[in-house]
């Protein structure tokens, strides 16, 4: 190629060519402003009132237009389920030495989107007070502020939260996927928060038509900047399509009508898509949910810990995960997506992934069921693979003489049976929790929303409350692990089963897409498109 | 004729009242309610919060009170508010009804044209390979569920590199895109209708064409086209029209799934979600709407007998 040139000349030519190539490659990586991405969310938003429901279809849409006080940081070094606090509407915060007082300094110069009646006025502490007061009164997020004693605002840009007792999870609770800050007018009759969305977020919701689409355009007054100080967001427009049928979603993705996939997808389907879209970004994480088997202690056999332990020893989870799900991670008291809080994998395998049918039968015999027993296993219909998991469990239990009769119900009916406690066995998918504390308080504290087993253990309650007050991260992690071991040994209910792989394919034209556990697409402001 | 129509209308109203009561009562006995759905992912939910939410939605009132309030609203045209969206149910129904009716009407027309055409052709080609092929094809489409036909259509289109454009646009906004979005689900819905109609049309045509009056007309030298279409088909239409009415009802129920597959924001799609979310007012109003459509279609079918057959018209008058 460089024949006829001197050695020096050749070296120069090589350098020049390298520089050109590097610059071309660099141009590929430099974010560009403009463009649009389309995301599928497989349900309509029934309304836009964040205080009315925990529905993901609502909160995932609100995230594009709204902010929380504290947010989840995103980046190449941050795990899908790892909470690293990032300033959002609060620019900084101080925590008192006793852990009881949190002082938040609010970001100055933030304005609400230019939508009547708020019409672009400045964001102040009064908005934070109004939002949190409404949540504490009747918001679905009420439980996240349960340890809060008072919330005050010494000035327009300071909010002070005092706790009844130390709770190191407060920051994460304020960054929870449902904790959006609304203008105070949303609570004094100024507008209908059911249908009007006014936020401080990167995009402005321009229209929403049920069953059709939700559209957003760039908010010119958004305060967010990237690490280099560049104004965000990059995208001019975002479109969310509520495609409810899986095949329709696959077709839409293949045709490029969807850029970013959100929702269930298995490896076989992903492989089929990849045949049509070979350059897609194959992003995989461990699901933020896991399957769980609840055993109702009011059904006599399940009141005996030995029976629950026997069932635990009957299920071959690793084979199940391999055959039925084709990948993922073994479940734990705290789901494996919370990589820093769940027990290490080898310990989870020792606790839940080492089936021993002989030992299981011996435990059943000790408990007075040498010939096994029958029970009704209510299975919530989350789809084909979920049902196959239930069938796998059914076969494993049959190996130790326990006959599970599967009863399929829809989600609403299943939730009702769970809440009423009128089930014998219940197989479902866990909520997408983002903190070990959420797992503990919902499952194992009296009155917890997922305590379908009626657990009321004084020692466990004390341990759960204790971890909420441990400020040192490593010491807290040790306590969280200790709690999980205690539950595995003394409660063994629900039985964690499996966390599947979560697939988030995106087309090659999409850059900077990093799926994160909380709803609202926290990395989307840094997404840009190359066409 | 008017008396007949009025009598059918009164019967229709009685049917609607019965359907309303049945749906109201039976759906309340299905486990689960909307408040559990709304709070399903919430961390800590106290019984007080649940009670507060249920009271806000009026679900704490006795069933009889809830039904009376709903029924008295319906009489005045107020179907209440959706428990899920908080928006007036009547508005949601009207918005969703437009695409559903568009889809259903296109599908029934396609089904009628294809089915009657194929039926007449099969009768004319009786005993030939053409007849056999048409009969086999109609049996195949009768056996295939609409869900599968919908998926097959979607996959088939993708295999030839065609993808239906998204998102949905109404006819008034973009007729060209709307046509592409409606025609394929309409075809998927219509094939079952066409299959049933084709089989019935064939047998009715064969019966009629063997009748004395057809033989007499043929002996008089009436041209074949007039003989089969003007005399034969007209006399074979009564059972075909009856089936068309029944098929319209089946087709409406088919829209529930087809609208999901093809992303059409219609009544079926809305009903599907409302059932899953236990959104009682929407379910009740949607079922009532389906009931009204079915009754009106059947009334039209009954009235059309008189148009097709003068003997029926005279008997009614």
Q: Which chain B residue is nearest to residue A417, measuring alpha carbons?
A: B31
CATH topology classification for B89-316: MetI-like fold (1.10.3720)
Least Cα separation, residue A39 to chain B (angstroms): 12
Burial of A228 (0-12, 13-18, 19+ CB in 10 A): exposed
Please provide the average confidence, as pLDDT, over all residues in chain A.
Answer: 92
Contact B41/A at CB under 8 A: yes
Q: What dihedral do alpha carbons A271, A275, A276, A281 form, nearest 10°?
A: 60
B135-179 tens-digit pLDDT:
999 999 999 988 899 999 988 998 898 999 999 999 999 999 999
- A257/B165 touch (CB, cutoff 8 Å), yes or no: yes
Q: What does the pLDDT average to over A391-414?
A: 96
B28: nearest CA in chain A?
Answer: A413
Inter-chain residue contact B154 with A247, CB threshold 8 Å: yes
The answer to whether A86 and A70 are in contact (CB under 8 A) is: yes
- Cα-Cα-Cα-Cα torsion A227, A230, A236, A239, nearest 10 degrees, comes to 10
Which of the residue ranges A495-499, B54-58, B213-217, B291-295 would you say has the lowest mean pLDDT? B213-217
Overall residue count recorded for chain B in this entry: 317
Q: Does B43 touch chain A (CB under 8 A)?
A: yes
Q: What is the pLDDT of residues B253-296, one digit of tens each?
A: 888 889 999 999 999 999 988 998 899 999 999 999 999 999 99
**pLDDT tens-digit profile of A446-489?**
888 889 999 999 999 999 999 999 999 999 999 999 999 999 99
Tokens 């490896």 belong to residue:
A267
A 253-282 residues inside an 8 A Cβ radius of B: 254-255, 257
Q: Does B88 touch chain A (CB under 8 A)?
A: no
- Average pLDDT on A92-121 reads 97
- List chain B domain ranges: 89-316
Nearest to A252 among B31, B84, B166 (CB): B166
Q: Does B178 touch chain A (CB under 8 A)?
A: no
B168 in reach of chain A (CB within 8 A): yes
* CB neighbourhood size of B265 (10 A): 23
Residue B77 backbone dihedrals phi, psi, to 5 degrees: 85, 10
Write down the ipTM of this complex: 0.81
All residues of chain A having their beta carbon less than 8 Å from the beta carbon of residue B264 are 211
Q: Does B283 contact chain A (CB < 8 Å)?
A: no
Check B261 against A248: CB less than 8 A apart.
yes
Residue A38 scores a pLDDT above 60: yes
For residue A142, the chain B residues in CB contact (below 8 A) are 42, 44, 46, 49
Q: Which residue has the higher pLDDT, A8 or B118?
A: B118
Please, which residues 318-377 of chain A have a Cβ atom closer than 8 Å to chain B?
Answer: none
Calpha distance B181→B154 (Å, rounded): 11
User: What pTM was estimated for this model as a whole?
Assistant: 0.86
Q: With contact defined as beta carbons under 8 Å apart, do A199 and A66 qualify?
A: yes
Q: What are phi and psi of B145, to 5 degrees?
A: -65, 150
The CA angle B140-B143-B146, to the nearest 5 degrees, is: 105
CB burial readout A312-342, b (16+ within 10 A) else e: bbbbbbeebbeebbeebbbbbbbbbbbbebb
Contact A245 B261 (CB under 8 A): yes
Q: CB neighbours (10 Å) of residue A445?
A: 19
Neighbours of A99 (CB within 10 A): 17
- Contacts A419 to B, Cβ<8 Å: 36
Q: How many CB pairs under 8 A join A and B?
A: 161
Provide the pLDDT for residue B3. Answer: 81
For B20-47, write each residue's pLDDT tens digit: 999 999 988 888 888 888 887 776 677 7
Query: Of A52, A89, A93, A331, which Cα lies nearest the Cα of A193?
Result: A52
Instruction: Determine the Cα–Cα distance for residues A230 and A522; give it in Å rounded to an integer.
Output: 17
A-chain residue closest to B272, CA distance: A244
């Amino acid at each position: 190629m460089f024949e006829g040139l001197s050695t020096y000349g050749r070296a120069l030519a090589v350098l020049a060519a390298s520089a050109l190539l590097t610059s071309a490659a660099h141009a590929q990586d430099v974010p560009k402003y403009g463009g649009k991405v389309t995301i599928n969310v497989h349900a309509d938003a029934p309304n836009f009132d964040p205080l009315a429901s925990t529905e993901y279809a609502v909160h995932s849409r609100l995230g594009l237009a709204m902010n929380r006080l504290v947010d989840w940081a995103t980046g190449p070094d941050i795990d899908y389920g790892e909470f690293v606090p990032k300033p959002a509407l609060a620019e900084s915060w101080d925590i008192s030495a006793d852990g009881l007082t949190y002082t938040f300094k609010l970001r100055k110069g933030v304005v609400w989107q230019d939508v009547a009646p708020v019409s672009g006025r400045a964001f102040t502490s009064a908005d934070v007070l109004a939002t949190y007061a409404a949540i504490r009164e009747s918001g679905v997020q009420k439980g996240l502020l349960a340890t809060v004693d008072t919330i005050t605002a010494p000035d327009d840009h300071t909010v002070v939260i005092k706790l009844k007792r130390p709770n190191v999870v407060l920051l994460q609770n304020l960054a929870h996927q449902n904790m959006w800050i609304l203008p105070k007018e949303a609570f004094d009759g100024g507008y209908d928060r059911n249908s009007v969305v006014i936020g401080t977020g990167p995009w402005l919701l321009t229209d929403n038509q049920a069953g059709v689409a939700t559209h957003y355009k760039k908010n010119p007054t958004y305060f967010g900047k990237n690490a280099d100080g560049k104004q965000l967001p990059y995208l001019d427009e975002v479109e969310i399509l509520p495609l409810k049928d899986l095949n329709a979603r696959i077709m839409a993705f293949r045709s490029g009508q969807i850029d970013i996939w959100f929702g269930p997808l298995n490896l076989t389907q992903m492989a089929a898509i990849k045949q049509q879209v070979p350059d897609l970004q194959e992003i995989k994480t461990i699901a933020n949910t896991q399957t769980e088997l609840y055993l109702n202690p009011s059904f006599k056999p399940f009141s005996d810990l030995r029976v629950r332990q026997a069932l635990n020893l009957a299920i071959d989870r690793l084979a199940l995960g391999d055959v039925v799900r084709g990948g993922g991670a073994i479940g734990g008291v705290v789901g494996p997506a919370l990589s820093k809080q769940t027990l290490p994998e080898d310990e989870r395998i020792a606790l839940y992934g080492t089936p021993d049918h002989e030992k299981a039968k011996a435990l059943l015999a000790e408990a007075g069921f040498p010939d096994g027993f029958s029970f009704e296993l209510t299975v919530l219909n989350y789809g084909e693979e979920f049902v196959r998991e239930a069938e796998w469990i059914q076969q494993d239990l049959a190996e130790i003489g326990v006959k599970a009769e599967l009863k399929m119900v829809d989600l609403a009916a299943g939730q009702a049976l769970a809440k009423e406690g009128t089930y014998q066995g219940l197989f479902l998918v866990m909520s997408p929790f983002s903190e070990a504390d959420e797992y503990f308080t919902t499952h194992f504290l009296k009155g917890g929303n997922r305590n379908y087993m009626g657990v009321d253990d004084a020692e466990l309650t004390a341990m759960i409350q204790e971890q909420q007050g441990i400020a040192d991260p490593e010491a807290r992690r040790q306590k969280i692990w200790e709690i999980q071991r205690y539950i595995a040994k003394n409660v063994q209910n629900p039985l964690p089963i499996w966390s599947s792989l979560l697939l988030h394919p995106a087309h090659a034209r999409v850059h900077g897409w990093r799926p994160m556990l909380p709803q609202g697409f926290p990395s989307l402001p840094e997404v840009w498109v190359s066409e | 004729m008017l008396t007949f129509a009025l009598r059918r209308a009164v019967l229709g109203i009685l049917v609607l009242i019965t359907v309303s009561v049945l749906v109201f009562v039976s759906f309340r006995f299905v486990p689960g309610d909307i408040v559990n759905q709304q709070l399903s992912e919430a961390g800590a939910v106290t019984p007080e919060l649940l009670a507060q939410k249920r009271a806000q939605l009026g679900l704490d009132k006795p069933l009889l009170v809830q039904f009376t309030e709903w029924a008295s609203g319906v009489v005045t045209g107020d179907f209440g508010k959706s428990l899920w969206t908080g928006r007036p149910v009547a508005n949601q129904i009207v918005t969703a009804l437009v695409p559903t009716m568009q889809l259903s009407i296109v599908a029934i027309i396609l089904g009628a044209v294809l089915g009657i055409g194929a039926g007449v052709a099969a009768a004319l080609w009786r005993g030939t390979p053409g007849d056999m092929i048409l009969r086999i094809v109609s049996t195949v489409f009768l056996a295939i569920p609409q869900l599968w036909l919908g998926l097959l259509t979607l996959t088939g289109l993708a295999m030839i590199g065609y993808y239906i454009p998204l998102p949905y646009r109404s006819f008034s906004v973009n007729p060209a895109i709307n046509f592409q979005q409606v025609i394929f689900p309409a075809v998927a819905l219509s094939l079952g209708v066409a299959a049933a109609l084709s089989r019935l049309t064939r047998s009715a045509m064969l019966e009629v064409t063997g009748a004395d009056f057809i033989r007499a007309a043929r002996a008089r030298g009436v041209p074949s086209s007039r003989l089969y279409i003007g005399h034969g088909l007209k006399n074979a239409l009564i059972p075909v029209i009856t089936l068309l009415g029944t098929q319209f009802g089946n087709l409406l129920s088919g829209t529930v799934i087809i609208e999901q597959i093809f992303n059409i924001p219609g009544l079926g799609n809305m009903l599907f979600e409302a059932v899953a979310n236990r959104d009682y007012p929407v379910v009740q109003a949607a079922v009532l709407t389906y009931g009204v459509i079915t009754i009106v279609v059947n009334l039209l079918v009954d009235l059309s007998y008189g148009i097709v057959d003068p003997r029926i018209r005279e008997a009614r008058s």
